Structure 1
Amino acid sequence: MVDSKFGIFLNGSYGVGKSATLDHLADRFAESDLPFSLFDVDWFHRSWPPAPSDPRNVVTEADNIRAVWGNYRRTGPHTPIVAGVIRIPDDLERYEGAFELPLRVVHLTASTETAEQRLRGRYTASQRRALNWHLNDHQRLARDCDQFSPYDLVIDTDDRTPADVAASVFDRFAPDLHL
């Protein structure tokens, strides 16, 4: 039996198209009158400095997601649609705990060349430090994400638009949602 109440988690390294796909997936849900709530997890842990007891800000991130999700949930049934990174089973467990729902994890991939091109297009000249950090780390994170298993869907985004990727995700999961 398929669980009809779940969230969708767009997973992958930097530059694979998670945030862009998230926006297009919201459009598909809205066009189909399916209630949803968007979460780009980067905005739930961007603070400095992190607590000494939470150096990766993951506890803070989960607490922030839980609070916002509680507000959305009070307005009625919604499907959380999330863009972020799951590298290890503990990450998935933390996110499922924050949403109190199982998550269907979609692994978005891209070649090194495509990811680097997208990253270069994302940052301005004044953001060179952030660009260099992401360029230096995206391959390691891609390897980490590749090691996580199981995925409910894997999509190579190299030759696909975010709208095409969103359509594939929507077509795979929307029929199973019964809100």
Structure 2
Amino acid sequence: MSTDVLDEELRDCFQELSNVAVGRAADLLARLLNNFVIMPIPVVNLLERAELSMALSAIADASSVSAVCQGFTGSKIAGEALLIFNDASFQDMAELTQFKGEITEQIELELLMDIANILIGACLKGLAEQIDVSFSQGQPYLLGQHINIEELLNRNGSTWQRLLTIELPYKLEGREVNCDLLLLFTEDSLAILRNKMSYLLE
């Protein structure tokens, strides 16, 4: 079976694994913020880089976003986690974390990094446990604050031409907090992921 094609069976399998991982991350976030987290079903695709630009534009309809990126690798699987945060979310985030005072860019950055650590860490751990790998995570870094999607993509220096993307949207009930977590796997990782999930495909 060709490794550069994401057939329906494999897509469903990724979706099932992602659903479990995203549920764990949402549970952690809900406990931390004492607020119900709404989670749509993860969206799994195999995208060319140009298509990723269009996909990001579609999911981040806000004119201004902030984003954090974190690389990960393990068992010859490599990728990046990209957390895109709607800038309208910061006031509500500050309230939910009991922050009092002026919300400066530094405070926004701390909030963004806190959420990124929770969501990215929990999602990767949830996926890794299900396919029996251990991911080593790089240092998270800021791609930008208060920028548009086009700028965001230009700042992400990845040279990958085709990516397996898992889009995990999060929204807090009754709040203006919404963000998108994208797990981006290199094309070379697809064959290994397929092999790791073979027990689910039988």
TM-score between the two structures when normalised by the length of structure 1: 0.27
* Structure in which a larger fraction of residues adopt helix: 1
Normalized against structure 2, the TM-score is what? Answer: 0.25
Q: Which has the higher strand share?
A: 2
